[in-house]
Structure formats: structure tokens, C-alpha cells
Chain A
Amino acid sequence: MVPFWILFLVAVAAGLVGSMTGMGGGVVLVPALTLLGVDIKHAIATSMIAVIATSSGSAAAYVRDRITNLKVGMFLEMFTILGAWVGASITLAAGRRWLFILFGAILLASAVSMLAERRRDRQAAPEQDKFTHWLELEGSYYDSAEQQRIDYTPRRAYLGGPFMFGAGLIAGLLGIGAGALKVLIFDVVMGMPSKVSTTTSDLIIGVTALAGTSVYLAAGLIDPGRAAPVILGVLAGAYVGTRVLVRLTNRAVRMLFVVVLLGLGGQMVWRGIQGGL
């Protein structure tokens, strides 16, 4: 049994790194728990319930600030919850080696995406289609940095839905929020402003994680003795990461996280291939 304080501190670190990088705590938490000797399926289930806590906490603030687009979130969570349910069911049936390899591959892919500078100017999306117009997804928010109201018109909701099913599947499968993937879909596929993408992603991650958590709870994979310190630790880490520390912008610090991700991802793939779990 892993001591309470070790679990708590590891979760604080995961929440801190996750909030600073925008990747969420699960990406670091799951490999860290497996390194402490926790079975990967239990690690994924524990991470999933912690994701509910962090996403609900941050979504509460963003929703009240009226940046989140609730209609976009509520339309797309129809797809993410189905994906999470399917993903969690696959995890229950999957071999542990494959979970290690898949999780490692996701970490390595995240490291590569962090290496690439995020493009600032989005390409102009095509005109709004009839389906997205029918969904009434247009929105506006007050940008405190630019000190003006920003109006925007989401597009291609017919593509956003299926893509979100995929994001939900990865979230449920690996016990992560998959926030970076969801933001990418909002941003690139639906042409939404970055702030709205990030905050709307937080809103739907909670419901997505609940669908996955239900599957893991029914399978007996949620252990309160492990979940309690992890929930508190991830929340504390995420709080410090978002309120006290600046968001990750410095290239040198970014490179440090890339190295961490490459190390965690590489060891997970290696453990999966070796089979000595």
C-alpha cells in the first residue's frame, strides 16, 4: 500500500504540471502511480475520478465568468460521454501491456505537440453551415485582456461531434481529461476562440469523466484509500498551478516538461513491450 503522503504529493505534482502545461493532471498521474506499483487499471480509474474534481473546479469559475459556451458544451457532451463509456469498457477488457504502450504513445505524442509552437493565427473557417446555425451556437464574451467584447460564430458542428466521440474515447480509455485534444477540436475544426475552447472543454470533461468513472466503479477499480489523497492532491496542485504560477510560456521550462513527458512515455512503452509490469 502506497503511503497517503506519497500519493498526495505525487498528485500535487501531477496537478501542478497538468495545469501549467494545459494537459490536465491525468497525463502525469497515471504513469506516476504505475511507477509507485499501482496496477495500471486502478491508476486509470483513480485518475478518472480526480479528473471530475479538477474539471468541475475550474469549470465553475469559467462558467460564472461567462466565457464558456454552454450550448456548444451541451451539444458536444452527447458525443464525449458515449466515447468515454466505450473507452472505459475497452480498458476493462484490454491487456495491461497494450494499455502501457498506448498510454506511452499518447505521452510521446503530447511531447511532440508541445515541441511545436502553437500557431497563433487560425485559418479563417468557412462560412457557418446550416446545421451549426440551427444549433444556435453563436456566442460572445468579454475579454478582460483586450478590454472588449468578442463575438464569434462556431462552424462545422457536424464534424465536431464525431471528433468529440474520439476525444471521449481516449479520455475514458486512459483515465485522462483529454483537454488538449478537445481544445484542438474546438479551435481547428469549429473555429472557436482559444479562451472559449479551453473553458468549454473544462465543462464537458467533468461529465465525460463521470461516464468513465461509473464503469470503473462498477468494476471495483475505485479504491477510496487511494482516491481520497489523489483527489485532494490534484486539486491543490491545479489550484497552485493556475492561481500562483504563471502559465507555461518560457521555452526552457517547456523543454523540461517535454523531457519529463518523453521519459514517462518512453518508460511506459518500454514496460509494455517488456511485459514485466
Chain B
Amino acid sequence: MSEEDTEAPDRSTLPGLGMDTVVGYVLLAGVLLSIALIVSGLAWHWAATGHLELTYRIAGMNLLQFVSSDAGQFASRPLDPQTIVSAGMAVLMLTPYVRVIASVAYFALAERNWKYVAFTTFVLGVLTYTLFLR
């Protein structure tokens, strides 16, 4: 085994350096924010009612309607636990979507790899369409 083989990876020269970091942190931030929101909403609900069961339902709506309705509630009236839990779920669902947007941007702006810009744009297009499903 050569000395080169046993060296720890030189992260600055490995391919895909920036992309790994961007994608990794987008996913991590999304999951952590989502957990924080869901736990906060449930804790508030428990403090207010003495139990953890949430009884509200989401009528059939697409994800963008779900997100905009939640954002509208954030903006227009006092916060309540349900809105915070819904925000956590919306953040969770949007995390892979934001990851794909970050991938398109990275391939286009940093790597200028148009082949992968096309692939990731296709994925983004299909996902966007499913988010508008109703």
C-alpha cells in the first residue's frame, strides 16, 4: 500500500467539494429546524391542554397551498401550537426540494456542468409539478 493510499482525504482536492457541503448542510438544517418546530409546537400544546394529541386535520391540499396557508397564519393571527407543528412538517417536506434547488444552482453556477443542470432541473420540474397536485 503506498503512502498516498494511507493518507486521510485531502478534502480540498476531492471532487465535488462544495457540492457535498452545500447538500449536507441543507439537509441537516432542514431536519433540525423541522424537529425543533414540531417539538416546540407539541410542547406548547401540552402546556396549554395537558395532553399531546393533536386533533386538527389537513384537508386535501397540495404542498404549496399547505405552506402558503401556514405562512398566512403566521402572518395574520397570533401563533398557535398547530401552526408551529404544521410549519415543522412543511419544512420537512420542503427539505429535499430545497436540496434539489441547491443542486441545480451549484451545477449551473459553480461547476457549469450543463448535463447535470439538465438532470437536476428535470427532477425539480417533476417535484414542482407534484407540489402543485390537487
Contact = CB atoms under 8 A, between A and B. Distances in A.
Nearest to A54: B31
B41 to A, nearest CB: 8
B17 to A, nearest CB: 8
Interface string A199-238: 0000100110111011101111011110111011001000
B127 A231 contact: no
Interface string A4-48: 110000000000000000000000000000000000000000000
B76 interface: no
Interface residues of A, number: 57
Interface string B15-26: 110011101110
B77 interface: no
A75 interface: yes
A75 B117 CA distance: 11
Q: Is the interface of B mostly helix, strand, loop or mixed?
A: helix
Interface string A51-69: 0110011011101101010
Given A70-B16, A74-B116, A220-B60, A229 B52 contact: yes
A61 B24 contact: yes
Contacts of B113: 136
Contact of A78 (B119, B131, B133): B119
A53 B92 contact: yes
B70 to A, nearest CB: 11
Interface of B: 1, 4-9, 11, 14-16, 19-21, 23-25, 27-28, 30-31, 34-35, 38-39, 41-42, 51-63, 66, 82, 85-86, 88-89, 92-93, 95-97, 99-100, 103, 113, 115-116, 119-120, 122-123, 126-127, 130-131, 133-134
Given A209-B96, A223-B58, A63 B119 contact: no
A167 interface: no
Contacts of A206: 27, 95-96, 99
